[in-house]
Amino acid sequence: MPDKVLTIIEARTGSTRLPSKVLLDLAGRPVLEHVIRRIEQCRRAGEFIVATSIAQMDLAIVKLCAGLGVRVYCGSEDDPLERYHQAARLHQGEHIVRIKADCPLIDPAIVDAAIQLHLESGADYTSNTLHRTFPVGEDVEILTHTALERAWRISDLHSEREHITLCVPKHPDLFRIRHLESGRDLSCKRWTLDYPEDYELLCIIFQHLYPVNPCFGMGAVLDFIETHPEFERINAHIPVDAGVQRSLRHDRRMERPR
């Protein structure tokens, strides 16, 4: 019997840089709905759920998912790793796929390729983010349940609890790591949603590509951007890892779970 794959989409409304960003409109639908529809197109993603927090403001995410018929887990507001770990344990996934709700251009083919590499390699952790060759916003990570449990136990910095997998590359002795790489270095491209400039670029991309094919892939975005390079300059000044760097600047120790 094949191992169970569980995909968890992280979603919350409490972003300080762009509040309620996962509910912003893109081509007539909320950002989170685009992410959900794209994961539905994956062949290897298995069961999927949305993980959000118990915060009052995140009820909007619960209502959206209810309307779409998507299951939701509501967990810790202040500890995303705890929330993620409990969601995975409740739904008993053996391999956990991490997808972020601020990535509405996530390509199902890339997700499937990462899952296939992970399952075939026997890795504890597989991603296309550590040795980045894909655009920011095409991010996918997979952990075994055992690896997620280990990360949950050893992560004691606020940055590690917030960014969930941040501790993994710090401990190559504890995790067997594999990397999914693109045939072309596209790491300088930013297609995620953290700042108003990101939203401006995504609105332009969806305006042009969504009516033709609602689940357009990375290749279509590349063709569009390379035809209109002026649009790519809208958010080019934002660092690739802006969110992580902000967390590191305000880092602190936290009590480890027991």
- The model's confidence at residue 245, banded by pLDDT at 50, 70 and 90, is low
What's the whole-number mean pLDDT along residues 177-183?
96
Domains, the chain, in order of start with CATH, read: 5-249 (3.90.550.10)
CA distance 22 to 202: 12
> Helices (DSSP H) in 193-251: which residue ranges?
196-209, 218-227, 229-232, 242-249
Percent of the chain with pLDDT over 70: 92
Q: Are 136 and 192 in contact (CB under 8 A)?
A: yes
Instruction: Provide the whole-model pTM.
Output: 0.92
Question: What is the pLDDT, as a whole number, of residue 1?
Answer: 47
**pLDDT over threshold 80, residue 247:** no
pLDDT > 70? residue 23: yes
Residue 41: pLDDT over 70: yes
Mean pLDDT of the chain: 92
**Pairwise pLDDT comparison (181 vs 244), residue with the higher score:** 181
Instruction: Give tens-digit pLDDT for 196-227.
Output: 999 999 999 999 999 999 999 999 999 999 99
**50 membership: H or E segment, kind and range:** strand 47-53
Strands across the sheet with 141-144, in order? 72-75, 47-53, 5-10, 95-100, 141-144, 125-127, 177-179
Give residue-wise pLDDT tens across range 135-173.
999 999 999 999 999 999 999 887 888 888 999 999 999
Q: Per residue in 111-130, pLDDT tens?
A: 999 999 999 999 999 999 99
